[in-house]
Structures are given as C-alpha cells and as structure tokens.
Amino acid sequence: MKLNVRVIPNARKSEFSGRRDDEWVLRLNASPVDGKANKAAVEFIAKSLGIPRSGVSLISGEKGRHKIFEIVGFQPSDVARKLAQSGT
C-alpha cells in the first residue's frame, strides 16, 4: 500500500503528529542533509508499524517534504490504526 507523508525535519523528537488533508504528518529529529531525513523516515515508519526496514521504501518525494512510501504486507486500515496509536 502507498502511504502519503508530509515530513517536517529538525523537530525536537520524531513522532507522527496526526493528519493534514490526505497525508500523515511526520516530525523527524533529523536534518534534511545527504538523505538523513529520508533514511530516518523509513526507519521510524518501520519501527512504528513493527516491520523490518525492508518493508518500507520511499517511492516518491526524495527531495521534498511530501513523500510517498510503499508499505509491504499491510492494508490501509491497519496502517492508519498503528500510526494513530504511535502518535499518542
């Protein structure tokens, strides 16, 4: 499934902070330099969903804040439930 995410780098801590329009808002404690924020986003999403990093891949938005990730083995409703739980 595809997951639309708006990434906000250089946050105090890494966390999902809800939804905005059709995207999840992910605040990352990583700088957007040399792909560090992208790598941190993949790791954080995988950890939040309880899956290996290989189950999450960035498919669009490498250089921007609006990103699309491919999540392997999950239904959209399962992802929404887990991300909502991780944000609390």
pTM: 0.89
- Give the β-pairing of 23-27 and 56-60: unpaired
The residue length of the chain stands at 88
pLDDT above 80 (res 87): no
- Segment 15-27 mean pLDDT: 92
One-letter identity of residue 78: D
d(Cα 87, Cα 64) in Å, to the nearest integer? 22
Residues 8 and 27: beta-carbon distance below 8 Å: yes
- Tens of pLDDT, residue by residue over 32-77, are 898 899 999 999 999 999 999 999 999 999 999 999 999 998 888 8
> 62: which 2 tokens?
């490498």
Q: Spell out the domains of the chain, with CATH numbers in brackets.
A: 2-86 (3.30.1200.10)
Q: What percent of the chain has pLDDT over 70?
A: 98
Report residue 88's pLDDT band, with 50, 70 and 90 as the boundaries. very low
